[in-house]
Structure 1
């Protein structure tokens, strides 16, 4: 029997808070070879507020200790009662294999986010081109699902590249959406045929000749690209060579972005043994006092003093190292991993915050 408490209206619920609630697995679906979708709900029956294309960081309780892995949401915020990640187990992958082997309905995980700036919500346009390869399709699927629910007339050219027809993730759903969204054009490109079915579509790799066949007016579109780094570099180089205005090109990458670092002006502090400025730092939750050099991040100081602060990306993007500052000042140069209202509440990202004075932290 279904739990009557599940039947609640959205205005009777509060948004999910990653500082208070964890995720519960509610479904596991095979999408393609070595690809699964894991759907989650909040253990406190809250709803999820995010932008299509954003990502979460999951804390996986492996036997060797907590393992942090970042995954893009493939679900859409237009369906806010659950979220989903679609993950591919690469050769030698540890976190994803652990998920495949251990996550079942009822499993619970701690998660951080959602965060990230890779979303069409940040770049409204009349026409879009989504280009993806492999599991890079996940943020594109999140955005397309949102458009299907909220603006199904939108002009979208959707191009996905895969090794074989069997490895096209979400293929059946995409073909269904193609019959329902009048402005959606689908373009699949594979590198090799499958013995299981005939293939009459495009073969090879996307290039300057094939792109105009898949999206003749690509120069007039807002372009989003996601996939392996070599794939994204090839797409970017191809567009630049074609004279595309790269201000309308956006790519998802978990590599280190270039951050604008503000000049740091420190308050008077004590010098350490090497003559550089250092400040007292107190980790109240761990009952640990130490020192943090002016050129050292709070995360580095925490590790030096034996205090564990979760961290995944370590360049201010994923938000997992968020910690509340009780007192003191820092210089923080993040890349979108923290919200303005969180900063107003006193939170900082330990990985990209350096002390300007003595600090007290809740960690």
Structure 2
């Protein structure tokens, strides 16, 4: 996938291990870098075989903030996060890919959005909340934000500003797990017990249907999702985003079949893969045992990718023609409802018909 050198116009230290970076977008790239709330940028650094790429959610709000902003927390041993937090300065150029991701799904009808974040998970959650509140569609938003201590809160002043500007339709709950005696708010973790305890009050805030968005460590999101499902929130109304998942070994499990939205395709030995990227078509002859992404990369197709193991969702695409088999581990990243719409991860998919057509632009 093409990368573009964008200049850091501003940086702000959020706390000891986290920084926000603003990136200037040249006029000729404004269209390429248009984005939706909850999307991410892929940042690349290094050269040759040492080049690495990592994904960071955009913490800016489209149409509301000038430039792009990512908010990055340093991870122990993280080559890219450590470089961005500790070394990148204003004026530096950073290589990034165009925005990607389908975390947020627009809602025409008003909803009560419960937005859960832990630590740096606030990065995509804050712009989603702001977007909903300023959409004029009558949404209500409840932020639930967990941290260890008050000094670890990221984007706290901006969150407070959003809540103050929409006090009739927005509240925020800060939950601290290791705060000192000076903290007077809720203590503990945003876990299953907390959600079960608070759910009735959240429901009482509004008669609107509930929708849940969450971002944070996997254990945090697993517990939250389990709680909401037990409380009767439909799975289709629960959305989660993370870049630190580890794909489990699912090779012994039966694959999931996804059928193209426009044409199911002709059964038989696969001969051709066609991919649409940036309005251009690329074609690859499939070789036995290859996933779709590998086949396309082997032929030089300029397709978006990063981890190649189903954890980052950079290679999310829409199957429009043919049929593919997807490793069941994809359900750690996508929902069954996404598969039903033809969405797949190219790195986890294998063609099952004579030809397939996959579109990286239709997401």
State the match for 1:206 in structure 2.
Answer: 190
Q: Is residue 2:210 matched to residue 1:221?
A: yes
Q: Is residue 2:11 matched to residue 1:28?
A: yes
State the match for 1:187 in structure 2.
Answer: 173
Structure 1 residues 180, 259: CA separation in 2 closer, same or farther (over 3 Å shift)? farther
State the match for 2:64 in structure 1.
Answer: 79
Does the Cα contact within 8 Å between 2:44 and 2:51 map onto a contact in 1? Answer: yes
Equivalent residue in structure 1 for 2:130, among 145, 161, 169: 145
* In structure 2, C-alpha distance between the alignment counterparts of 1:50 and 1:122, rounded to whole Å: 16
State the match for 1:92 in structure 2.
Answer: 77
C-alpha deviation, 1:232, in angstroms? 0.6
* In structure 2, C-alpha distance between the alignment counterparts of 1:133 and 1:93, rounded to whole Å: 19
RMSD across aligned positions (CA): 4.1
* In structure 2, C-alpha distance between the alignment counterparts of 1:94 and 1:317, rounded to whole Å: 16
Does the Cα contact within 8 Å between 1:129 and 1:218 map onto a contact in 2? Answer: no
Structure number with greater Rg is: 1
Gap regions ≥5 residues in structure 2: 249-254, 275-283, 335-344, 358-363
Does the Cα contact within 8 Å between 2:41 and 2:99 map onto a contact in 1? Answer: yes
* In structure 2, C-alpha distance between the alignment counterparts of 1:317 and 1:86, rounded to whole Å: 17
Does the Cα contact within 8 Å between 1:316 and 1:351 map onto a contact in 2? Answer: no
State the match for 1:233 in structure 2.
Answer: 222
State the match for 2:240 in structure 1.
Answer: 251
SS at 2:96's partner residue? strand
Which whole-Å deviations, capped at 9, do the CAs of 1:104-126 have from their partners, x for residues lacking one? 22222332232222115257532
C-alpha deviation, 1:308, in angstroms? 9.8
C-alpha deviation, 1:333, in angstroms? 7.4
C-alpha deviation, 1:305, in angstroms? 8.5
SS at 2:9's partner residue? strand
Which whole-Å deviations, capped at 9, do the CAs of 1:143-201 have from their partners, x for residues lacking one? 12324544496421110000111111111222222221121111000011248xx2100
C-alpha deviation, 1:36, in angstroms? 0.7
Equivalent residue in structure 2 for 1:101, among 77, 83, 86: 86
C-alpha deviation, 1:23, in angstroms? 2.2
Task: Compare 244-253 and 162-171 and name the one that shifted more.
Answer: 244-253
SS at 1:216's partner residue? helix
* In structure 2, C-alpha distance between the alignment counterparts of 1:245 and 1:100, rounded to whole Å: 38
Does the Cα contact within 8 Å between 1:72 and 1:85 map onto a contact in 2? Answer: yes
Does the Cα contact within 8 Å between 1:125 and 1:222 map onto a contact in 2? Answer: no
- The total of aligned residue pairs comes to 309
Structure 1 segment 123-134 matched on structure 2, within 5 A:
124-134=109-119
C-alpha deviation, 1:331, in angstroms? 6.0
Structure 1 residues 139, 80: CA separation in 2 closer, same or farther (over 3 Å shift)? same
State the match for 1:261 in structure 2.
Answer: 258
C-alpha deviation, 1:63, in angstroms? 8.7
SS at 1:38's partner residue? strand
* In structure 2, C-alpha distance between the alignment counterparts of 1:41 and 1:146, rounded to whole Å: 21
Does the Cα contact within 8 Å between 2:116 and 2:145 map onto a contact in 1? Answer: yes
Gap regions ≥5 residues in structure 1: 1-17, 269-276, 282-289, 323-328, 338-347
